[in-house]
């Protein structure tokens, strides 16, 4: 691979938007929309891992689903290796799906309970490729070896596996079409800590061996620090900070990022879901239609301007982008 191709981003997301229609109340016919993803942009270099972080409700999973065409985007561009996925239809989209695969959060509900393990891993090959039966079986056998599953387990059903083994099965399925980009959506959050470490190390080994590129979604900043080369922080559908791992964890700039980092002990212990959901519900109700910064009512630095004018994402130093009026 030539140097310029290696340096060129594999994935380029530009001004991605996802809006959901809503009604003001159950008796009203007046419709409005909620901007779940509000014009986000970022790049991922080939062979690297970008972390997408934020509280529940920040829009990170919605963005990932839109990138993978599992949810309809309202606008923007998603270029995978210079092909805009949002413009593809039918056969072109089917072919593109071989290059982008998803590892889901729950390793049980994402697997068909009526299919045996080898059928689950082979499923993307059956639906997205024209390989003959012999080649498909060889790929499945190799993937069982790659993710640390035994060949005799191919005939088992999902309920016969442990949680970690089920996630290995999900990883094998995602890798079956030899994708360039793998989206990991909270891929270890449903596992206990010891099994998390095994799966994270497996993902890193597979990345090194296969040259994979990851979009890694997580609320756990400890996991993000271990896995990711760069990090995008989202709040209420917008990117508020984007930096490489070292810059973000050693010198965070946005007040929201600092809030997340200060809450790391809570995040490591399954996240204080009730507190976060209450905060997000309050912010969503009060700030969803404001013109300015969505974080202004929780921000220790907020000024009147913050409520009226939305801050633009700007580069405060090389490779470190922040959306805040108070940061220069």
Report the DSSP pairing between strands 83-84 and 75-80: antiparallel
Range in 35-49, 195-209, 233-247, 302-316 the model is least confident about = 302-316
Of 128, 129, 106, 117, residue with least CA distance to 184: 106
Strand segments, DSSP code E, in the chain are: 9-23, 31-45, 49-53, 75-80, 83-84, 100-103, 181-185, 213-218, 230-235, 238-244, 314-317, 320-322
Angle 288-23-297 (CA atoms, 0-180°, nearest 5)?
15
pLDDT value for 191 = 86
Residues 131 and 122: their CA atoms lie apart, in Å, by: 11
The mean pLDDT of the chain is 87
Each domain of the chain, given as residue ranges in start order, spans 3-24+31-99+179-255+314-322
**For residue 26, what pLDDT band results from cuts at 50, 70 and 90?**
low
Of 270, 170, 183, residue with least CA distance to 219: 270
Question: Region 20-40: what's the mean pLDDT?
Answer: 76
Give pLDDT tens digits for 113-164.
Answer: 999 999 999 999 999 998 999 999 999 999 999 999 999 999 999 999 999 9
| Count of CB atoms situated within 10 Å of the CB of 56 | 13
- CATH superfamily placement of domain 3-24+31-99+179-255+314-322: P-loop containing nucleotide triphosphate hydrolases (3.40.50.300)
Q: At what angle do helices 193-210 and 163-175 cross, to 10 degrees?
A: 20
pTM: 0.87
Angle 234-247-65 (CA atoms, 0-180°, nearest 5)?
30
Sorted by sequence, the CB contacts under 8 Å of residue 1 that are 6+ apart come out as none
Residues 137 and 150: their CA atoms lie apart, in Å, by: 15
């Amino acid at each position: 691979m030539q140097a310029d191709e290696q340096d060129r981003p594999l994935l380029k997301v530009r001004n991605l938007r996802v809006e959901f229609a809503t009604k003001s109340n159950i008796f009203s016919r007046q419709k409005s929309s909620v901007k779940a993803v509000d014009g986000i942009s970022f790049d991922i270099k080939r062979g690297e891992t970008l972390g997408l972080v934020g509280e529940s409700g920040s829009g990170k999973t919605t963005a990932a689903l839109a990138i993978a065409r599992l949810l309809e985007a309202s606008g923007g561009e998603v270029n995978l290796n210079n092909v805009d996925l949002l413009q593809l239809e039918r056969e072109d989209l089917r072919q593109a799906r071989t290059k982008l695969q998803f590892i889901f959060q729950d390793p049980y509900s994402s697997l068909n309970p009526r299919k045996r393990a080898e059928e689950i891993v082979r499923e993307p090959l059956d639906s997205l490729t024209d390989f003959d039966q012999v080649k498909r079986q060889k790929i499945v056998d190799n993937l069982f070896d790659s993710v640390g599953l035994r060949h005799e387990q191919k005939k088992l059903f999902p309920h016969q596996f442990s949680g970690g083994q089920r996630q290995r099965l999900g990883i094998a399925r995602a890798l079956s079409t030899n994708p360039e980009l793998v989206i990991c959506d909270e891929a270890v959050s449903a596992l206990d800590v010891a099994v998390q470490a095994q799966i994270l190390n497996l993902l890193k080994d597979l990345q090194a061996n296969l040259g994979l590129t990851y979009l890694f979604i997580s609320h756990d900043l400890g996991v993000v620090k271990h896995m990711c080369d760069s990090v995008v922080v989202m709040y209420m559908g917008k990117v508020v900070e984007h930096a490489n791992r070292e810059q973000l964890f050693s010198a965070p700039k946005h007040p929201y990022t600092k809030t997340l980092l200060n809450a790391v002990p809570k995040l490591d212990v399954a996240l204080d879901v009730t507190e976060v959901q209450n905060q997000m519900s309050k912010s969503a109700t009060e700030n969803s239609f404001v013109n300015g910064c969505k974080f202004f009512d929780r921000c220790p630095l907020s000024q009147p301007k913050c409520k009226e004018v939305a801050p633009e994402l700007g580069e405060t130093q090389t490779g470190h982008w922040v959306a805040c009026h108070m940061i220069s």
